[in-house]
Structure 1
């Protein structure tokens, strides 16, 4: 200020005027910067609250399953080898060879069957003497063929001079012996031959996804499951997508058709009254989140593991996925596992909502993945990694701050 004192009056007035102008411009610039900064902060806060995301993060899933409001509702289970093995054992279907056996039974006569009875007498024929000579037998023996007859509802047939005889539930050889015994003392050394002309009682039924549903007559040679399917013209769908259910009396068992073809022991003998049902079951799971593709993915009736499911979903996206947050959302039966959260709440149909968590950063998890079975309608979800969320935040920051900085530079 001492320099201003020495200046002339007009120079001092000019200098003060310039200082006031500079102060006003600086103040105006500072105000605009502050306004822009405040606007920038408001935009960033708004953007942070509305980040686009593929779904819940690892932390959000944990919070949802541990929140008081969800107590006893959602089970969070960390998958290891023991859990995977227990689930796999619970989902294995009982094999036909174990549940039904493969014992060959004699063919028995039943109501509705048509049979033919042939009777031979040694000479001199005293009872059926009017019969013709059988050229296949010794010249002195005579054969009589009775008219074909149907076994009635009570399982009986009629034989002249022998009366009504129980035929149902007997083999042809057993019925022959019974008729011969009834004729003993009436016919001269009788010999009897019984032939089943039409089999109406020893049949199996084939229905479902086959070309032609039918009743398959069973013969003494022994028809099997694949014989029945072949007689029906084969299945309409791909073999890998068909399940075969065999119903016998009051029990039924199911196996993938692929398993029956690959394992001959499961191609068991059929019994009278069996029902073979070929069912088309389009199984699928849904892949969501940071996987190679987000879509519904079909799989075969024999099932797939979690490792195969991840591969079919395109694997984890390296730049986005959280390898510690691979989740499977599923409804399980109450008895499936020993649930970590008590009490266990279930849906009206007795199913427990459960989230399985797999940490694929752990090398040992790859062994558990090979055993963990995928079920129909599973949801496979992979969360975004925290760094991916931070990267999105930075993108939003830069997209907003760059225009602001350019505006400030232009203002200067």
Structure 2
């Protein structure tokens, strides 16, 4: 059956109307990059994992609090800088003890002659002693001596004092032959896990790692944990290398654990590149993070709605917030930092605020972006419908 010309002319308009009705009916299902800026702000005070979400404007005051807390967690701040110190003897150490007396030798006359001296000038005896668990040794003719916590020079003076009156002008020399009481344990992602002995010069953290053969993982993906006297501190290896103050001196019984830990943050929302993005252990700023995710999408991003989602340590929050807000089961606070880039000063804050491992950087969609996208879709469909209608009308006219 042939359509009447009037009906053929109305076909494009009918197709457009049907398409518009279909799109309008389904406009509520148009996709979005994520929650709007207003929806994110509404989660302030909401519960999460038995904690409570805190929404904090990222201004210079908030950045200073976070930066001060991060500095307080460094190796130098948490563990302190110990001096080189004296070489103190402890249980398990092996001592070489040389004893001399002037001729005529009374106690050590059968000992060997010191090379370089006349045969009868002076005699000596050499004994080797292992310091027992109580920190003591036994020296011939001098008896039991408490040497634990003493330097070799102090032990020499004690031995000479004990031998005075029994030996002819006695002298003593004490040398640490084997260090078993002053060690640092290094393990994890190193070439060889071992106990590294400490000498009198005061070895530093990087010396210990080098003594274990260095790290097996790349430096920018390596984290170092130092445990001392019940306290532990963790820092990226390249941050330790970059800041000499973090290359702290080691103390006996320190434990150094080297871990392979790649760092990354997650970029979501109205950004050019939504992805998990790796970064160096020494850290990157929020401004650098924005650059690595390709910047904001000009036609969609809400410059007032850049958010950083983080499980924060309470120590990084202001006193009022820290004292009133509940923490999660692991003692942290779910925090959303909001940065308003409509104020150009926000870019200075972005340069200073440091991204942490597993942060989520989210940029909300501008309020009018969904409408613009909807109108663009409708316009495209409308022009397609008109083109189809024109083709149909032209074909029917040609058929007539």
Q: Provide the TM-score with structure 2 as the length reference.
A: 0.85
Given candidates 35, 42, 45, the residue that maps to 1:56 is: 35
- The 1:407–1:112 alpha-carbon spacing in structure 2 relative to 1, beyond 3 Å, is closer
Q: State the Cα deviation string for residues 232-263 of structure 1 (Å, max 9, x = none).
A: 11111222222222222222333332233233
What is the alpha-carbon distance in structure 2 between the residues aligned to residue 395 and residue 29 of structure 1?
Answer: 27
The answer for the alignment partner of 1:13 in structure 2 is none
- The 1:64–1:115 alpha-carbon spacing in structure 2 relative to 1, beyond 3 Å, is closer
The answer for the alignment partner of 2:332 in structure 1 is 351
The answer for the alignment partner of 2:227 in structure 1 is 247
The answer for the alignment partner of 1:321 in structure 2 is 301
**Does residue 122 in structure 1 map to residue 102 in structure 2?**
yes
What is the alpha-carbon distance in structure 1 between the residues aligned to residue 332 and residue 363 of structure 2?
Answer: 24
What is the alpha-carbon distance in structure 1 between the residues aligned to residue 34 and residue 323 of structure 2?
Answer: 27
What is the alpha-carbon distance in structure 2 between the residues aligned to residue 29 and residue 314 of structure 1?
Answer: 50
- Counterparts of residues 363-374 of structure 1 (less than 5 Å): 363-374=344-355
Given candidates 157, 162, 187, the residue that maps to 1:177 is: 157
Offset of residue 76 of structure 1: 2.4
Q: Which one is further off, 150-159 or 225-234? A: 150-159
Aligned length: 386
What is the alpha-carbon distance in structure 2 between the residues aligned to residue 236 and residue 68 of structure 1?
Answer: 42
Q: Is the 8 A contact 1:119 1:193 kept in 2?
A: yes
What is the alpha-carbon distance in structure 1 between the residues aligned to residue 273 and residue 200 of structure 2?
Answer: 55
Q: Is the 8 A contact 2:112 2:125 kept in 1?
A: no
**Does residue 147 in structure 1 map to residue 127 in structure 2?**
yes
What is the alpha-carbon distance in structure 1 between the residues aligned to residue 321 and residue 103 of structure 2?
Answer: 87
Given candidates 213, 235, 238, the residue that maps to 1:233 is: 213
What is the alpha-carbon distance in structure 2 between the residues aligned to residue 43 and residue 190 of structure 1?
Answer: 109
Q: CA RMSD in A?
A: 3.1
The answer for the alignment partner of 1:199 in structure 2 is 179
- Counterparts of residues 274-289 of structure 1 (less than 5 Å): 274-289=254-269
What is the alpha-carbon distance in structure 1 between the residues aligned to residue 213 and residue 321 of structure 2?
Answer: 50
SS in 1 for 2:127: coil
What is the alpha-carbon distance in structure 1 between the residues aligned to residue 74 and residue 338 of structure 2?
Answer: 31
Offset of residue 209 of structure 1: 1.5
SS in 2 for 1:386: coil
Q: Provide the TM-score with structure 1 as the length reference.
A: 0.83
What is the alpha-carbon distance in structure 1 between the residues aligned to residue 73 and residue 323 of structure 2?
Answer: 31
Q: Is the 8 A contact 2:102 2:123 kept in 1?
A: no
Offset of residue 351 of structure 1: 2.6
The answer for the alignment partner of 2:60 in structure 1 is 81
What is the alpha-carbon distance in structure 1 between the residues aligned to residue 47 and residue 280 of structure 2?
Answer: 39
Offset of residue 295 of structure 1: 0.5
What is the alpha-carbon distance in structure 2 between the residues aligned to residue 129 and residue 36 of structure 1?
Answer: 122
Q: Which has the larger radius of gyration?
A: 1
Q: State the Cα deviation string for residues 162-214 of structure 1 (Å, max 9, x = none).
A: 21111222111111111111111111111111122211112111112111111
The answer for the alignment partner of 1:110 in structure 2 is 90
What is the alpha-carbon distance in structure 2 between the residues aligned to residue 107 and residue 178 of structure 1?
Answer: 17
Given candidates 261, 286, 296, the residue that maps to 1:306 is: 286
**Does residue 392 in structure 1 map to residue 373 in structure 2?**
yes
Q: Is the 8 A contact 2:188 2:258 kept in 1?
A: yes
- The 1:137–1:97 alpha-carbon spacing in structure 2 relative to 1, beyond 3 Å, is farther
What is the alpha-carbon distance in structure 2 between the residues aligned to residue 134 and residue 345 of structure 1?
Answer: 74
Offset of residue 344 of structure 1: 2.9
Offset of residue 50 of structure 1: 0.8
- The 1:192–1:242 alpha-carbon spacing in structure 2 relative to 1, beyond 3 Å, is same
SS in 2 for 1:196: strand
- Counterparts of residues 254-293 of structure 1 (less than 5 Å): 254-293=234-273
Q: Is the 8 A contact 2:84 2:201 kept in 1?
A: no
Offset of residue 312 of structure 1: 0.8
- Counterparts of residues 85-96 of structure 1 (less than 5 Å): 85-96=64-75
What is the alpha-carbon distance in structure 1 between the residues aligned to residue 389 and residue 376 of structure 2?
Answer: 20
- Counterparts of residues 371-386 of structure 1 (less than 5 Å): 371-386=352-367
Any gaps of 5 or more consecutive residues in structure 2? none
SS in 2 for 1:175: helix
- The 1:177–1:363 alpha-carbon spacing in structure 2 relative to 1, beyond 3 Å, is same
Offset of residue 62 of structure 1: 3.3
SS in 2 for 1:207: strand
What is the alpha-carbon distance in structure 2 between the residues aligned to residue 88 and residue 219 of structure 1?
Answer: 36
- The 1:68–1:381 alpha-carbon spacing in structure 2 relative to 1, beyond 3 Å, is closer
SS in 1 for 2:296: coil
What is the alpha-carbon distance in structure 1 between the residues aligned to residue 233 and residue 89 of structure 2?
Answer: 27
What is the alpha-carbon distance in structure 2 between the residues aligned to residue 273 and residue 39 of structure 1?
Answer: 79
